[in-house]
Structures are given as C-alpha cells and as structure tokens.
Chain A
Amino acid sequence: MDTYKVIEIKESVFENNDHQANLLRDELKEQKTFLLNLMSSPGSGKTTTLVQTINALKHEFSIGVMEADIDSDVDAKIISETGAKVIQVHTGGMCHLDADMTRQGLKGLGIQGIDLVFLENVGNLVCPAEFDTGASKNAMILSVPEGDDKPLKYPLMFSIVDVLLINKIDVMDFFDFDINLLKNKLVKINPEIQVIPICAKTGEGIEGWLDWIRDEIKQWNT
C-alpha cells in the first residue's frame, strides 16, 4: 500500500509570470529596446493612435509593432503601411498576453537594432492588467465615448499604467465626459499617472504624447 503525504508547494502562479516579465525587461534594457505595452477597450482608437505616432517618430527611431489579437490581421495590415516592422500575434482565444507570449512575439519580430516596440495588447480592460508582459512602460487609451467613470469600474488597469491618453477629445461636447472628474478619481487610484488628452484622428495634443515617449526612451537607455 502506497503512503500518501502532504507536500507543500506554495508557488504563486502570477509570481511565475512576474519573474518571467522581469527577466524579459532586463534583457530589453540591455539591448536598448524600449517596449511600450498599449492597452484599451476595443474601439478606443489604438491602431489610429499608433499610425499617427509611428508616422511622427519613424525618422527618429527604428520602430517595431506587435499586434496581439484573438484573431484576424486587419490591424497589422494598417500598421504595415507606415513602414514599421510588424508581427501579428494570435492569442487563440486568450484574452491577454503574458510574459512568455510577449517573448515569443518579440523573437518572431526580431528586435535587433529596434529602438522602440509597441505592443498593441488585446482590447480588454481586465485581464491584460493582471499579467505583466515585461514591457518597459504601460500605456492606456480611454476614449471619450467610453465615459469618465471607467477608473471606478476597472481600478486595477488604471493603477498599473504610467500614462493615460484620453482619445477622441474632438467629440467631447457630445458626451457627458468631465476630464476633471476623471482626474479626481485617478488621484485615489494612481497619483503618479500622466494624463494626455489627444485626438488621434486630427493629431491634436499628440505632441505631448510624442514628448513623453522621447523622454521615456532617453531614460531607458541611460
């Protein structure tokens, strides 16, 4: 008769991912590649913002983009027209990317000589916040039609991002979106967060966003 006993493991599943993410971040720093994880709901204007950003920065930096979606390659096609190096990553039903998937994606993209990589994460404000991808910094886009109450509904997401873009400010008059109300809510959740209002379609406010990226890349490489 076999004797069974209790053997303690006490391993955190999330810590495992955090460990992988830290390893990846160290390697990226070593290689002087800045990885920006861009998160938002579907339809907030991630791809339009990226196209504007890449077109404005492509003469300063060599840029790569990793498009993560559950399916399709519509975004990758649009991005590739900017001339940036693009890889489409399919998560196969998964609602987020983890550090290991990010590593595989970067390997497929090839980051030798690339200064700046945008990771366009799966459109979702829940799961991507739980899993550290190993990115240098986290950015989020909240678009005006989504409403100023979103920090109350998705506090974790707003607590982990370094910069928040408020997109579609050109339609502010048509929605009950109060940017000061939003900022009051953010102070409680994440006092360090930088808020940059933009309109990706017209380019309004985009300069502040570009300067943020330039500063962060400079700091990453020192």
Chain B
Amino acid sequence: MHELGIVINVVKTVEDFAQKNGLTKIDTLVLQIGAMSPVIPTFVENCYPIAVKDTLLEDTKLQIEIIPANGRCNDCEHVFNVIQHRATCPNCKADSPEMISGNEFLIKEVVAC
C-alpha cells in the first residue's frame, strides 16, 4: 500500500502550482492513471479525503481518468489493448509488445479560479 504517500505528494504539487499561478479556489482536480500503473484508482479515492485535510484542496472534488494499456506488436506493429489480449498480439500472436501507454500517473488539470 503506497497510495497515501503518493497522494500527499500530489496534493503538495497542486498546492505549489496554485500558489505560483495565483489560484485561490480549486473546484476539481483531475488525475490520469494508466491501467497498468502501480497506483490503484480506488485506493487513491479512499486516501484522498485524508490527504487533502487542512489543505487548499480540502473541498476540491477528485476526478480520475483511466488511460488504457496499449502496446505495439514488435513483429507486425499492430496496436492493441494489452490487458484485454493478455499481452499477445491478436493479429500475429507474437508476445512481449512494446508498451505505448498505461503506466502513466499524471496530474492532468484543475478547474479553479
């Protein structure tokens, strides 16, 4: 379990960003989490209320977008969903594709004023 430490870091980063950009109220925080990322969205949601307590984000809503785990086949260059196809190319059956998305953990944007 490492989400709490990570979410506390996210809150700090957003607070710094708000201060630098003169934001006083943050309505929504949008995170993007890759489907293969070691960060579990449900755990992030559970940790979030504790991590934002007594910070600028105390009343900020959290929104999480999931980025699909896509890979490109090393043999035929077909792009496919790695989780759905269990890392085997549906086109030519080769394994070990090159990952092109799905490991991200991004602070995408805030809705603020």
Contact = CB atoms under 8 A, between A and B. Distances in A.
Interface of A: 2-14, 16, 93-96, 98, 126-127, 130, 188
A92 to B, nearest CB: 9
Contacts of B109: 6-10
Is the contact region of chain B dominated by helix, strand, or loop, or is it mixed? Answer: mixed
Contact of A5 (B5, B107, B111): B111
Given A6-B110, A9-B108, A10-B109, 13 more contacts: A5-B111, A5-B113, A6-B109, A6-B111, A8-B109, A9-B14, A9-B17, A11-B107, A13-B106, A14-B105, A16-B13, A94-B2, A127-B2
A155 to B, nearest CB: 9
Contacts of A13: 6, 9-10, 13, 105-107
Contact of A4 (B9, B38, B112): B112
A211 B108 CA distance: 46
Interface of B: 1-2, 5-6, 9-10, 13-14, 17, 21, 23, 25, 27, 38, 96, 104-113
A30 to B, nearest CB: 26
A3 B105 contact: no
Contacts, number: 63
B94 to A, nearest CB: 11
A11 B27 contact: no
B21 A7 contact: yes
A11 B13 contact: yes
A2 B26 CA distance: 11
Contacts of B96: 188
A16 B13 CA distance: 10
A16 B9 contact: yes
A5 B25 CA distance: 11
Contacts of A3: 113
Contacts of B9: 13, 16
Contact of A126 (B17, B38, B106, B110): B38
B29 to A, nearest CB: 9
Of B5, B96, B108, chain A has the most CB atoms within 10 Å of the CB of: B5
A218 B111 CA distance: 52
